Amino acid sequence: HSNLKSIGLSIPGIVDTKKGLVVIAPDLQWKNFDIRKIVHEVDPKSRNGRVIMDNEANSSALAEQWFGKDMVKNKSNIVFISEGIGTGIILNRELIQGSYDGAGQLGHMTIDPDGELCICGNHGCWELYTSKEKTVERFRGEDFDGNVNGELGKIIALALNGDERATKALRETGRYLGIGISNIIKAIDPEVVVLGGMIAQAWDIIRDDISEEIGDRVFFDIKKKNAQVVPTSLVERSSLIGAFTLVIREIFRGYRITK
């Protein structure tokens, strides 16, 4: 600990990276939460180093850029979609933070203005139709009791073994993923969109539905440039690797690394 230089944190929600605050994380019920102060209280020796933090989608996007598979690594324009949904956006090799660290909240773009009420106060947010909760609800139907612990993994396993009900639930989620991704492609024109979270394990089931929605909704002149949509190669470790990447990036900031 005496030689500790930096600690990396990858956090769901909007993060003030300079002040060390979680501005808001609805799922954790955090608002203006001083996570840096908590780290110092839990481990006083952490004051010897820096606590570097960012939103989990942002850090995951960096992880893909630095350590992802060849079709993603070193790309200049990347969008990472995390479970939840959050999005990390890299343009011209730079992570887009926004004016107030709030960029990438695309899970709350409106898909259906007359849709369900979201925790954010908006109606019809994208994440309402693509979350693991919604996928489990589609599968369970009237038997859904709100419990999603471990359920998505079971549904994916069933679908991979040919269960029609599980497959139908996942494909509907894939369809809504495609709708949102088509908006991202039209707005940002990335080289690659990386799908993270557990749903990426169902890639073989949802891929065609995602592609079909993109094909139906994206202008031909953008579509022909062949923006790739791929599952993460970092599985469910992207956020953890992202926290590490935040630290490595800070260490090498200002250095020019060449092959």
pLDDT at residue 259, rounded to an integer: 47
Query: Residue 210 phi/psi, 5° resolution?
Result: -60, -50
The pTM (predicted TM-score) of the whole model is 0.89
pLDDT at residue 101, rounded to an integer: 86
The tokens describing 138, both together, are: 């589609």
Domain boundaries, the chain: 6-56+239-251, 57-234
Where does the pLDDT of residue 128 fall: very low under 50, low under 70, confident under 90, or very high at 90 and above? very high
Superfamily designation of domain 57-234: ATPase, nucleotide binding domain (3.30.420.40)
Q: Is 162 exposed, middle or buried (0-12, 13-18, 19+ CB in 10 A)?
A: exposed
Rounded CA gap, 93 and 136, in Å? Answer: 36
- Quick one: CA torsion of 133, 139, 143, 147, rounded to 10 degrees? -30
Which tens digit of pLDDT belongs to each residue from 170-196?
A: 999 999 999 999 999 999 999 999 999
pLDDT at residue 43, rounded to an integer: 80
| Residue 46: pLDDT over 50 | yes
Which tens digit of pLDDT belongs to each residue from 54-94?
A: 999 999 999 999 999 877 878 889 999 998 899 999 999 99
